[in-house]
């Protein structure tokens, strides 16, 4: 009897430990990413100017600089200063290539709140009858399409489990298979390395709390329209 109770206790103890670890992994990974990002931002400015700063001061100064940069960019003289600065950098060899390329990428991502990935698809990679998740980035590739003699679609093929790195491929439109799932869900599948199925991803998505209105960081750059008061003519 005692041996049976001991085995039951060990089984329950092991099950609770495994369940607890599974629940704690997302929290620990999230905290780790935030801490690493904070440390990187906090150390970036001191490394650039070569001055030691108290922990957290680098992040604070970066936020303040970003605020005033955004504030300056919204007025006439600020825009002229930015245009003049861009003109000067454009005439500096090597630096102009790096700066303007990065600026173009940022503009493509941010202008008009355009999504980086249009939709998730399947392509045959790295060989025939082997399929990988990819994301359509552009369907307007006229020059390449004319040279290839067929319509080519630009897709980004992410790596697992880090979807921020990957390959740019131009794939024939006929070889692209639409999978009709949201981009966010497809990214989760890539990050899971195949451990997560589509059905499981759908259940996880439906279990997340939803708000009536989601906050969009691009709204920070939009000027709020002044509301005009409507006066009753009878007043």
The two most distant CA atoms of the chain are separated, in Å, by 89
pLDDT tens, position by position, for the chain (235 residues)? Answer: 777 888 888 888 888 888 888 878 878 888 888 888 888 888 887 888 777 888 888 888 888 888 888 888 788 788 888 888 878 888 888 877 888 777 776 665 555 445 668 899 999 999 989 999 999 998 989 999 999 999 999 999 998 887 878 999 999 999 999 998 888 888 888 888 888 888 877 776 666 655 555 555 445 445 555 544 455 545 4
pLDDT at res. 208: 61
Distance in angstroms (rounded) separating the CA atoms of residues 43 and 62: 10
Find the radius of gyration of the CA atoms of the chain.
Answer: 26
φ, ψ of residue 167 to 5 degrees: the values are -130, 145
* Beta-bridge partners for 123: 132
Distance in angstroms (rounded) separating the CA atoms of residues 121 and 30: 27
Distances (CA, A) of 208 to 29, 195, 225: 18, 19, 33
pLDDT at res. 110: 59
Length of the chain counted residue by residue: 235
pLDDT at res. 154: 94
Distance in angstroms (rounded) separating the CA atoms of residues 124 and 134: 10
**CA triplet 72, 109, 34: central angle to 5 degrees?**
80
Q: Where along the chain do its domains lie?
A: 119-205
Distance in angstroms (rounded) separating the CA atoms of residues 138 and 141: 7
Domain 119-205 has CATH 2.30.30: yes
* Number of Cβ atoms within 10 Å of the Cβ of 6: 10
Q: Which helix (H) or strand (E) holds 68?
A: helix 57-73
Distance in angstroms (rounded) separating the CA atoms of residues 6 and 170: 61
pLDDT at res. 113: 47
Which two structure tokens, joined as six digits, stand for 147? 């040279």
pLDDT tens per residue, range 140-149: 899 999 999 9
Distance in angstroms (rounded) separating the CA atoms of residues 211 and 218: 18
Question: What SS3 state is found at 155?
Answer: strand
pLDDT at res. 24: 84
- Strand 119-124 and strand 131-138: the pairing is antiparallel
Question: What SS3 state is found at 153?
Answer: strand
């Amino acid at each position: 009897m005692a041996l049976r109770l001991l085995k039951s206790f060990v089984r329950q103890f092991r099950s609770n430990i495994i369940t607890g670890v599974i629940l704690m992994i997302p929290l620990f990974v999230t905290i780790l990413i935030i801490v690493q990002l904070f440390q990187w931002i906090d150390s970036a400015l001191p490394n650039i100017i070569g001055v030691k700063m108290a922990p957290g001061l680098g992040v604070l100064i970066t936020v303040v600089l970003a605020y005033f940069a955004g504030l300056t960019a919204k007025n006439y003289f600020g825009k002229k200063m930015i245009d003049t600065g861009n003109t000067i950098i454009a005439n500096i060899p090597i630096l102009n290539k790096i700066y303007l390329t990065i600026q173009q990428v940022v503009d493509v991502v941010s202008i008009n709140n355009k999504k980086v990935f249009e939709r998730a698809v399947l392509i045959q990679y790295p060989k025939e009858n082997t399929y990988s998740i990819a994301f359509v980035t552009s369907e307007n590739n006229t020059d390449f399409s004319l040279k290839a003699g067929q319509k080519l679609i630009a897709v980004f093929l992410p790596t697992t489990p880090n979807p921020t790195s990957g390959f740019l491929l131009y794939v024939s439109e006929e070889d692209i298979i639409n999978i009709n799932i949201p981009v966010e869900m497809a990214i989760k599948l890539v990050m899971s390395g195949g451990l997560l199925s589509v059905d499981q991803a759908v259940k996880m998505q439906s279990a997340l709390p939803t708000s009536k209105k989601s906050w969009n960081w691009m709204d920070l750059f939009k000027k709020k329209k002044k509301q005009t008061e409507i006066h009753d003519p009878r007043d």
